[in-house]
Amino acid sequence: MERSFWNAIVSGLTGITTLGVLAFVSTVPGSSPAATPEGGWHLLDPIRYENISIFPVATAATEDTSRFLTLEEGLSSGEVLVSEQGAGGLARARNGRPVVPQYNNTGASVNQLVLVNRSKRPLLLLAGELVSGGKQDRIIAKDRIVAAGAEPLPLDVFCVEHGRWSSGSQFSAAKTIVHPSVREQAALEQDQQEVWSAVASGSTVPVTPAAPEARLSSRAVADAILREAPTQSYTKIYEQGRVGGSVDEFVEQVEKRFSRSTSGLTGQHIVGVVAAYGGEVAWSDIFASAELFNHYWSKLLRSYAVEALARPRLRETASSDDAREFLRNLRGRETQESEPGVYRWREITEGKLALIELEALEPKPITLHRLLLHRTN
């Protein structure tokens, strides 16, 4: 009788935990070992230019990810709508039917927007993607998936336009992913002040007195803000004017080398990259398919270029062995969040390294995006 009683309690608690979005933290190092990386990844020879090294990540087989909609595609087609909180026009109707917004705050908020996925496909969001318009330009706070036809979603964001809070155009895809120093503050630190600071300083990497000055120094960023971006708009600082021109030249040089190095591969697919600055391996983005990687590659490359220009111009180069460390699984403090039947997100920290994985759960589990980085603070 006693055993049956306790079994009933355990079953009841298990049922409760399957409802809604779950979040928990495991603080015992190594208590939840990560799965073996999918895809049989291996590194190709690095592409080097000035202070950056890009190691392509290749695999023999990729997943079919065609069922997923990206933010850029959704905003461009009108299947995805983004609005400030309290903007009555967004949540009034969907497909001709009344919709009740699923949030309580009726006023606009710096760190929250409202998103509606009106498509028939699940929507993939990546931390650091920029949406332009509204009262301020914002970036997505964390990786997640929004189910097809889901109710209006309170979307966590960070502002990357510190000096404006006024009505602007409808939100649109800016075709931009912010550079790693900014993306780290959003995805890991979750701190608005640190996001603003990273936008205004260029890089969050500590600079030693002996290090050669970066081409895109904090003084150069400050000058761009003064002359060209009075609202401290990320887009106006890093994609337009003199700074934008320098980034364009850098991207062009790396892209030519990357295309030449990866063209003509037989039986191999490029699904990601590992990026190093000087002798330090700093960042990696790996996707479930070559299709997804190709969609994000131009935006990611530009973000890596901004970071390279904002870091000291060191002559050291990272080795393939060092870069290969970014393909391994981490064991450490783990946090998870999930929406049953839609996605699972997890973050694992091990020393200065942090791993974030986004897994789609339906129709079968697929790790859509894997980010591993060396923290700068």
Strand partners, 284: 274, 372
Cα separation of 186 and 195, whole Å? Answer: 6
**Higher per-residue pLDDT: 242 or 21:** 242
Given this model, what pLDDT does residue 92 score? 40
Q: How many Cβ atoms from other residues are within 10 Å of residue 76's Cβ?
A: 13
The Cα 175–Cα 302 span in angstroms is 10
Closest CA to 316 of 351, 279, 290, 350: 279
Distance CA 196, CA 233 (A): 10
* pLDDT interval class at 12 (50, 70, 90): very low
Lowest mean pLDDT, pick from 24-38, 142-156, 164-178:
24-38
What's the pLDDT at 264? 85
Can you tell me the mean pLDDT for 111-139? 96
Tokens 């002996």 label which residue? Answer: 210
Whether pLDDT at 263 is above 60: yes
Tokens of 98: 């009344």
Global model pTM greater than 0.75: yes
How far apart, in whole angstroms, are the C-alpha atoms of residue 352 and residue 206? 14
Look up residue 94 and give its two tokens. 């969907």
Per-residue pLDDT of 310-362, as tens digits, reads 998 888 999 999 999 999 999 999 999 999 999 999 999 999 999 999 999 99
Lowest mean pLDDT among 164-168, 195-199, 275-279, 318-322: 164-168
The Cα–Cα gap between 238 and 324 comes to 30
Query: Which residues, at least 6 apart from 73, have a Cβ–Cβ distance to it below 8 Å?
Result: 79
3-state SS, the chain, equals CHHHHHHHHHHHHHHHCCCCCEEEEECCCCCCCCCCCCCCCEECCCEEECCEEEEEEEECCCCCCCCCEEHHHHHHHCCEEEEECCCCCCCCEECCEECCCCCCCCCCECCEEEEEECCCCCEEECCCEEEECCCCCEEECCCEEECCCCCCEEEEEEECECCCCCCCCCCEEEEEECCHHHHHHHHHHCCHHHHHHHHHHCCCCCCCCCCCCCCCCHHHHHHHHHHHCCCCEHHHHHCCHHHHHHHHHHHHHHHHHHHHHHCCCCCCEEEEEEEEECCEEEEEEEECCHHHHHHHHHHHHHHHHHHHHHCCCCCCCCCHHHHHHHHCCCCCEEEEEEECCCEEEEEEEECCEEEEEEEECCCCCEEEEEEEEECCC
Per-residue pLDDT averaged across 212-216, rounded?
87
What band does 104 get if pLDDT is binned at 50, 70 and 90? very low
Structure tokens at 210: 């002996």
Confidence at residue 71, expressed as pLDDT on a 0 to 100 scale? 96
pLDDT bin (cut points 50, 70, 90) of residue 87 is low
- Give tens-digit pLDDT for 128-141: 999 999 999 999 99
* Residue 17 predicted with pLDDT over 90: no
- Residue 58 in contact with residue 43, Cβ under 8 Å? yes
Q: Does the pLDDT at position 218 exceed 80?
A: yes
